[in-house]
Amino acid sequence: MLCQRCNQKEANVHITKIINGVKTELHLCDECAKQSEDINVNFPINFGMPMSFQNILDGFVEMLGGAPKTYEEEVCPVCKMTFNDFRNKGRLGCGRCYSAFSQKITPIIKRVHGNIEHTGKVPARTGGELKLRRDIQRLKEELKIAINKEEYEKAAKLRDEIRYLESKLGTERGE
């Protein structure tokens, strides 16, 4: 008897299943049997079919009122990918795509991570200036809070620190 799945090799695994009184028989070869779900019934958990990011992405785009696929769309100036390419592949073309499709991609990122602000590691060499800017931004927010709370002494300290960092930013840029 030939394997019912590949129709090429000799069937040497025979399975009889009775579900709700309905009997079905399956005759498979070694290879096909290994891949068959019917045999792995004793397996505790099957992670066999996870949702891929592409699967979920399309749902997000639709839910967020994304463009229909025929929409005239933006093209990334560096890699020439379009937003629809991203939608189909689930992968962006290059780092520049993030700003090229910013409007559409930011809500998706927010859905995935619940956040759109990186708070982790900053690359040491390219990140020096970025790190300074982020520190300044953070201090400015603290300054706002301090002023609102009428904590003027603290506010004065924060202001001095911001000035200091801003002057440092100037020297880093070679100004």
How many residues touch other proteins under the rule CB under 8 A: the total is: 48
| Residue 125 within binding range of other proteins, rule CB under 8 A | yes
| Residue 35 within binding range of other proteins, rule CB under 8 A | no
| Residue 50 within binding range of other proteins, rule CB under 8 A | yes
| Residue 92 within binding range of other proteins, rule CB under 8 A | yes
Among 5, 27, 104, 133, interactor with other proteins by CB under 8 A: 133
Residue spans of alpha helices (H) in the chain: 30-35, 53-63, 83-89, 97-100, 102-113, 124-148, 152-172
> Which region, judged by CB under 8 A, interacts with other proteins, from 15-23, 38-46, 145-153, 157-165?
38-46
| Residue 93 backbone dihedrals phi, psi, to 5 degrees | -90, -35
Three-state DSSP at 70 gives coil
Provide the 10 A C-beta neighbour count for residue 33. Answer: 20
| Residue 81 within binding range of other proteins, rule CB under 8 A | yes
Say how far apart CA 134 and CA 163 lie, in whole Å.
14
Say how far apart CA 122 and CA 120 lie, in whole Å.
7
| Residue 100 within binding range of other proteins, rule CB under 8 A | no
| First-last CA distance in the chain | 83
> Which region, judged by CB under 8 A, interacts with other proteins, from 20-28, 130-138, 145-153, 158-166?
130-138
Provide the binding-site residues for other proteins, judged by CB under 8 A.
Answer: 30-31, 34, 40, 43-50, 53, 78-79, 81, 89-96, 98-99, 105, 108-109, 112-127, 130, 133-134
